[in-house]
Copies of this chain bind each other. A is one copy, B any other.
């Protein structure tokens, strides 16, 4: 039985990844073909010719105007997925059509609906507006993970691992030592995990990017909307500084760390990561530094989670983990994911 929730929105790609080249990516076990029309419209269809299942994203398949020509026998499809030409005959079978996927571009992300298209409700797509806001600067990337998506959910919901796995980058002793508070909003379908460190060491990641050093206030407010979108609202400020009563927070640096956690298969995952900031917005050296640092941190996670996937594959059934307080958020997320995978409408009934 699959642990991947269906009838859900997933991030399939960054908007900028898809243009006038055929682009294939497997999402939740389904191979999907993406491309844009000459007018720039996004298309998403099953990446498999209806004739003999050749992947349309694979050369010598090619884009000709607003049609895709299969590289094996030349079956040709329009932007709506309908077949418009087959070899050796004039009549095109009416059923010759690539299954379309609902897609939405929003906040610089390409969201795809995996499941029954009739149930695709675009209002349920969670937002991260700063990713596409001129007041913010974002660096981003994607790393392939040879591990099930739930291992990345566990990882991100419990940031105490920063101290150990990411020491010297984003981890300091205070992250593991400071207790968290967890809140599950079942109606909104969101898990919140907060850790406010009011007097903590400034890790290199923030020292170099903000110019602060020594002791800082460091707030981590996680907002995870299962299954895909994870947002870490990170606030870095001098010790003692708090947001003003009117909501403004002029002394603090705000970093929005976003992950999109998209299953590729049952045991592999697309690990999309983004780091948005509201300071030093035009400083390319800060952008380059944050991109390189965050990619390093993500690759440390990838290495560890790939190991865990191999451990799981080799272990006997029924192995029991032990959970402690830091796992409260992760366990809440697992419960919501399990309900989603079982087919319940866990979100926004």
Contacts and interface: CB of A to CB of B under 8 A. Distances in A.
Interface in A118-170: 154, 158, 160-161, 163-165, 167
Judged by DSSP, the binding face of A is: loop
A72 B164 contact: yes
Nearest to A300: B60
A11 interface: no
A93 to B, nearest CB: 6
Contacts of A165: 60, 71-72
Interface string A292-303: 000000000000
Given A164-B69, A164-B71, A178 B307 contact: no
Given A70-B164, A72-B164, A88 B324 contact: yes
Interface stretch (A221-229, A272-280, A308-316, A336-344): A308-316
Contacts of A50: 321-322
A73 interface: yes
Nearest to A328: B88
Task: Classify chain A's interface size.
Answer: 35 or more
A348 interface: no
Nearest to A48: B311
Contacts of A323: 51
Given A53-B321, A315-B53, A178 B71 contact: no
Interface in A46-92: 48, 50-55, 58, 60, 69-74, 86-89
Given A53-B315, A73-B164, A265-B314, 15 more contacts: A50-B322, A51-B324, A52-B154, A53-B311, A53-B319, A54-B308, A55-B307, A60-B165, A60-B167, A72-B304, A73-B160, A87-B160, A89-B179, A89-B324, A93-B322
28 contacts: A48-B311, A48-B315, A51-B327, A52-B308, A53-B315, A53-B319, A55-B307, A58-B307, A60-B165, A60-B167, A70-B164, A72-B161, A72-B165, A73-B164, A73-B326, A74-B163, A74-B176, A87-B160, A87-B177, A88-B160, A88-B176, A88-B177, A88-B179, A88-B325, A89-B179, A89-B325, A96-B322, A265-B314
